Amino acid sequence: MGYPVKLNLQPLTEIHLHSHYVADMDGHGDIIYVRIFSIIAAFILLIACINFMNLSTARSSKRAREVGLRKVVGSSRKNLISQFFGESVLLAVFAMIVALVLVELVLPFFNDIHGKDLRLFGNSSIIVLLLGITMITGLLSGIYPALLLSSFKPVTVLKGSITGGSGKGTFRKILVILQFSLSIILIISTIIIHKQLNYIFQTEMGFNRDRIVSFWVNRIDSEDIAAFKDEVGKLSNVGSVTFSSQYPTDFASSGYGYTWEGLQEEDRILVHTLTVGDDFFATFEMKILEGRGFSHQFFSDTLAFVINEKAVEIMGFTNPTEQVLRNRYSEITGPIIGVVQNFNFKHIRNNVEPLVISYYPQIKSVAHVKLKTGDVSKSLDEIESIWQKFVPDVPFEYRFLDDVFARMYRAEKQMGRIFDYFTGFAILISCLGLFGLASFMTEQRFKEIGIRKVLGASIPNIVFLLTKEFTKWVLIANLISWPLAWFAMNKWLQSFAYKTTFELWIFLLAGITALAIALITISFRSFKAANSNPVDALKYE
């Protein structure tokens, strides 16, 4: 019986990042992570630009007289804007040179950690992109200082009426709030990612993968496979031995070949298939919810099936162990003798899919050996010795099922680590900018601090006075960043079929962390100013 087949072509270059088919290749990347890391890099770059704008406008009084004199001798505003833009772009170019050196030094360590072979100068388009980013960074960070400084009137400047603290500094406050909003978003995102990773590794998968060693045995002759199993099973630290057609995490076999009562001939429902040997369910400690598992005591089990809960749901059975399945291609019909509890045989970002398990005692593709709590290294050496008796010319290569799962979630673990680094960089850059801004603002209020101390103000009072405004800005940043972080991470979590939940403590922890970092940064400079001798501030009056 034939079915229409539609062939789709996929560019080879798109498989690594853009392929998301049901039966897909394992180990490829995901474009979503490239986009996420690009956004984070843009966040950090924006925070650095904000620092530059903040400090440039805060120290505008230092250059106000220069601007006034240039205008008096004939410089136009256009010339001044060009000058300030040029200075900003030149700083960005110097920063890029330093960055290239640092990246070349750090890249080998990054490649070792993440198993990549990235090269900075492997593609000429990277150089063009870096130059473009450098120009945009220089123009973006310099646009507001250039417009502000070039707008000063010569008469006002030469009278000494311009100060770095002139006006209410509304734009500067907005920049600080934006800066901390981005930092808080990164902190919340980092917490959510680690929470999801913990959820992944603690979620009940439906089978026990602890201390299971798996390896391909298809090079062993079929007539020797029973003897191999018997010898391995007799080892003192081996609990059980079983075989299957594939790894439980790599079901490549799927199709529309099964039909059942109530399914229309034209309907096509994709079902995954797995063939197993004796003791499969016992080895993986899977729960049989209805009926029974396979047994060599029943020869008819070779024509029977065990299905998972999802298959029961898809097939619409109320009494599954009273139903039969028919293979459309081989025309073989057999009873369903059991229902196994759902076990997640794919990445946790996918829903559990319908699975039909068949029984073939002589199956010999993949062996699974359940070890006890004894010496694992000794057990592996003993298994290898037995292996060499049957296939002496083939090296013994094995994998622990826990390691297979770890590799399956390697991208998420790497994402968590990179988020840690990026968040640390963002916080560090924010603190540097905040420290510089706090230093300038305390310098502007140096005489005020001296007068307050003479009038009896205590050091804690002065520190509170200098930090309360920054505290208000960080609190506002929390109110802005919380809904944005929730939206972004909720979008990311939607890619997982099984996901963690948002809790209030995550947002409170991120807000408190950001506030504590800001207060520590500002208080250090504020305490130094408050602890200074008032005579130093007032002796020039």
Is residue 238 within 8 A of residue 369, CB to CB? The reply is: yes
Asked if pLDDT for residue 166 goes beyond 60, the answer is no
Number of domains present in the structure of the chain: 2
Out of 372, 393, 414, pick the residue that ends a domain.
393
CB proximity list for 19: less than 8 A, separation 6 or greater: 10, 25, 28
pTM over 0.75: no
Q: What is the per-residue pLDDT for 289?
A: 92
- Neighbouring C-alpha atoms within 13 Å toward the C-beta of 532: 23
Residue 536 lies in a domain: no
Mean pLDDT of the chain: 80
Give the model's confidence band at 482: pLDDT under 50 very low, under 70 low, under 90 confident, else very high: very high
Please check whether residues 272 and 355 belong to one and the same domain.
Answer: yes
Tens digit of each residue's pLDDT (9 = 90 or more) over 279-323:
899 998 899 999 999 988 888 888 899 999 999 998 888 889 889
Identity at 430, one-letter amino acid code: S
Cα(164)–Cα(188) distance, rounded to whole angstroms?
34
The single residue listed with the structure tokens 């009926």 is 291
Whole-angstrom distance, CA of residue 133 vs CA of residue 42: 10
Asked if residue 168 has pLDDT above 50, the reply is: no
Tell me the pLDDT band of 382, cut-offs 50, 70 and 90: very high
Give the pairing of strands 333-340 and 305-308. Answer: parallel
In the predicted model, what is the mean pLDDT of residues 62-74? 73
* Same domain assignment for residues 159 and 234: no
306 occurs within a structural domain: yes
Residue owning tokens 């391909």? 216
For residue range 426-452, what is the model confidence (pLDDT) as tens digits? Answer: 788 877 777 777 776 776 676 777 777
Same-domain check for residues 234 and 356: yes
Strand-pair partners of 241: 369
Using CB atoms within 10 Å of the CB of residue 22, give its burial: 0 to 12 exposed, 13 to 18 middle, 19+ buried.
exposed
Last residue of a domain, one of 163, 194, 228: 163
CA distance 206 to 498: 13
- The pLDDT value recorded for residue 263 is 81
Q: Please report, to the nearest 10 degrees, the dihedral formed by the alpha carbons of residues 119, 25, 421, 487 taken in order.
A: 130
Percent of the chain past pLDDT 70, that is, above it, reads 85
CA distances from 353 to 33, 105, 248, 315, 469 (A): 25, 46, 13, 12, 55
Query: Within a domain: residue 170?
Result: no
Out of 327-331, 388-392, 537-541, the most confident range is 388-392
Asked if 521 and 438 count as a contact pair (C-beta separation under 8 A), the reply is yes
Q: 244 and 357: one domain?
A: yes
Residue 482 lies in a domain: no
In a shared domain, residues 253 and 368: yes
Most confident of 78-82, 349-353, 455-459: 78-82
Tell whether the model's pLDDT for residue 368 goes beyond 70: yes
| CA atoms within a 13 Å half-sphere pointing along the CA-CB vector of 394 | 15
- Are 252 and 383 in the same domain? yes
- DSSP labels, 396-449: ---EEHHHHHHHHTHHHHHHHHHHHHHHHHHHHHHHHHHHHHHHHHHHHTHHHH
Residue 242 and residue 379 in one domain: yes
Answer for the pair 387, 230: CB distance below 8 angstroms, yes or no.
no
Same domain, 225 and 132: no
Confidence (pLDDT) at 483: 93
pLDDT of residue 165: 45
User: Would you state the pLDDT for residue 352?
Assistant: 82
**pLDDT, tens digit, 9 for 90 and up, residues 178-232:** 888 888 888 898 888 888 888 877 777 778 888 899 998 888 888 888 899 899 9
DSSP assignment letter at 115:
T
More confident residue, 532 or 462: 462
Position 154 in a domain: yes
The CA-CA-CA angle for residues 376, 237, 344, to 5°, reads 75
Residue environment code for 332-344, b if the CB has 16+ CB neighbours within 10 A, otherwise e: eebbbbbbbebbb
Category of 369 on φ-ψ map: left (φ > 0), alpha (ψ -120 to 50) or beta: beta
Q: At how many degrees (to 10) do helices 504-530 and 170-202 cross?
A: 140
Same domain, yes or no: 349 and 269: yes
Dihedral angle over CA of 54, 58, 63, 64, nearest 10: 120
Return the DSSP state at 361: T
- Quick: pLDDT tens for 238-272: 989 999 888 766 655 677 778 888 887 777 788 88
Q: Which pLDDT score is estimated for 416? A: 77
Q: Provide the residue range defining the domain that includes 122.
A: 60-163
* Residue 67 resides in a domain: yes
Residues 280 and 376 in one domain: yes
pLDDT score of 384: 92
Q: Is residue 325 part of a domain?
A: yes
Per-residue confidence band for 15, with pLDDT thresholds at 50, 70 and 90: confident
Q: Three-state secondary structure along 215-247? A: EECCCCCHHHHHHHHHHHHCCCCEEEEEEECCC
Q: What is the pLDDT of residue 161?
A: 53
Within a domain: 440: no
DSSP 3-state percent helix, strand, coil across the chain (nearest 5): 60, 10, 30
The two tokens of residue 159 are: 């009278």
Q: 393, 414, 442 — which closes off a domain?
A: 393
- Examine the domain organization and report whether 357 and 226 are in the same domain: yes
Is the model's pLDDT at 1 over the cut of 50? no
Same domain, 154 and 227: no
Q: What is the mean pLDDT of residues 474-490?
A: 91
Report pLDDT for 167: 42
